[in-house]
Amino acid sequence: MRPEIVMLALAVGACTWAFRALPFRFDLTGLTPEGWLSRLLAATGPAAIAALCAVSVLPLVKGAAPPAPLGAGLGAVIGLWVWRRSVVLATLGGALAYGAVFAL
Protein backbone atom coordinates (compact mmCIF):
# COMPACT_ATOMS: atom_id res chain seq x y z
CA MET A 1 0.00 0.00 0.00
CA ARG A 2 1.25 3.46 -0.85
CA PRO A 3 2.42 5.54 2.13
CA GLU A 4 0.45 8.63 1.07
CA ILE A 5 -2.79 6.62 1.17
CA VAL A 6 -1.98 5.38 4.67
CA MET A 7 -1.17 8.93 5.81
CA LEU A 8 -4.41 10.24 4.31
CA ALA A 9 -6.43 7.51 6.05
CA LEU A 10 -4.74 8.28 9.38
CA ALA A 11 -5.33 12.02 9.01
CA VAL A 12 -9.00 11.55 8.12
CA GLY A 13 -9.43 9.07 10.97
CA ALA A 14 -7.83 11.44 13.49
CA CYS A 15 -9.98 14.38 12.37
CA THR A 16 -13.13 12.26 12.46
CA TRP A 17 -12.30 11.03 15.95
CA ALA A 18 -11.57 14.55 17.17
CA PHE A 19 -14.75 15.94 15.65
CA ARG A 20 -16.88 13.26 17.31
CA ALA A 21 -15.10 12.74 20.63
CA LEU A 22 -13.99 16.22 21.67
CA PRO A 23 -17.50 17.72 22.09
CA PHE A 24 -18.11 15.10 24.80
CA ARG A 25 -14.87 16.04 26.55
CA PHE A 26 -15.67 19.74 26.90
CA ASP A 27 -18.36 21.42 28.97
CA LEU A 28 -20.78 22.67 26.34
CA THR A 29 -23.57 23.73 28.70
CA GLY A 30 -22.68 27.40 28.36
CA LEU A 31 -23.06 27.50 24.58
CA THR A 32 -25.59 29.90 23.19
CA PRO A 33 -27.77 28.59 20.34
CA GLU A 34 -26.67 31.44 18.08
CA GLY A 35 -22.94 30.89 18.74
CA TRP A 36 -20.59 29.64 16.06
CA LEU A 37 -19.81 26.37 17.85
CA SER A 38 -23.48 25.52 18.35
CA ARG A 39 -24.16 26.15 14.68
CA LEU A 40 -21.13 24.06 13.69
CA LEU A 41 -22.21 21.11 15.81
CA ALA A 42 -25.81 21.37 14.56
CA ALA A 43 -24.61 21.24 10.95
CA THR A 44 -22.86 17.88 11.25
CA GLY A 45 -26.00 15.82 10.56
CA PRO A 46 -26.89 17.54 7.28
CA ALA A 47 -23.20 17.51 6.35
CA ALA A 48 -23.13 13.72 6.82
CA ILE A 49 -26.11 13.31 4.51
CA ALA A 50 -24.52 15.60 1.91
CA ALA A 51 -21.24 13.68 2.08
CA LEU A 52 -22.99 10.34 1.60
CA CYS A 53 -24.94 11.78 -1.32
CA ALA A 54 -21.79 13.16 -2.97
CA VAL A 55 -20.00 9.83 -2.65
CA SER A 56 -23.01 8.09 -4.17
CA VAL A 57 -23.27 10.50 -7.11
CA LEU A 58 -19.63 10.23 -8.23
CA PRO A 59 -19.97 6.73 -9.77
CA LEU A 60 -23.06 7.92 -11.66
CA VAL A 61 -21.09 10.76 -13.22
CA LYS A 62 -18.50 8.29 -14.50
CA GLY A 63 -21.22 5.94 -15.75
CA ALA A 64 -19.91 3.14 -13.56
CA ALA A 65 -23.00 2.58 -11.40
CA PRO A 66 -26.75 2.19 -11.93
CA PRO A 67 -29.00 4.97 -10.58
CA ALA A 68 -31.30 2.65 -8.57
CA PRO A 69 -29.24 2.57 -5.34
CA LEU A 70 -28.96 6.35 -5.25
CA GLY A 71 -32.68 6.73 -5.88
CA ALA A 72 -33.51 4.29 -3.10
CA GLY A 73 -31.11 6.01 -0.70
CA LEU A 74 -32.38 9.50 -1.45
CA GLY A 75 -35.97 8.31 -1.26
CA ALA A 76 -35.34 6.76 2.15
CA VAL A 77 -33.57 9.88 3.43
CA ILE A 78 -36.34 12.20 2.29
CA GLY A 79 -39.13 9.87 3.43
CA LEU A 80 -37.66 9.26 6.87
CA TRP A 81 -36.86 12.95 7.34
CA VAL A 82 -40.43 13.97 6.49
CA TRP A 83 -41.86 11.18 8.65
CA ARG A 84 -39.72 11.55 11.80
CA ARG A 85 -37.63 14.75 11.41
CA SER A 86 -34.60 12.80 12.60
CA VAL A 87 -31.25 13.32 10.91
CA VAL A 88 -29.88 10.16 12.50
CA LEU A 89 -32.77 7.98 11.34
CA ALA A 90 -32.70 9.54 7.85
CA THR A 91 -28.94 8.99 7.49
CA LEU A 92 -29.02 5.40 8.69
CA GLY A 93 -32.13 4.54 6.69
CA GLY A 94 -30.71 6.08 3.53
CA ALA A 95 -27.43 4.21 3.90
CA LEU A 96 -29.30 0.96 4.58
CA ALA A 97 -31.58 1.42 1.55
CA TYR A 98 -28.64 2.31 -0.70
CA GLY A 99 -26.66 -0.73 0.49
CA ALA A 100 -29.61 -3.09 0.13
CA VAL A 101 -30.43 -2.03 -3.43
CA PHE A 102 -26.73 -1.99 -4.36
CA ALA A 103 -26.32 -5.56 -3.07
CA LEU A 104 -29.20 -6.79 -5.20
> Which stretches within the chain are classed as H helix?
3-25, 36-42, 44-62, 68-84, 87-103
Domain boundaries, the chain: 1-42, 44-104
Question: How open is the CA angle 17-5-96, to the nearest 5 degrees?
Answer: 55
The more confident residue out of 92 and 23 is 92
pLDDT tens figures, 34-69: 888 778 777 887 887 788 778 878 888 888 778 898
Q: Give the pTM.
A: 0.57
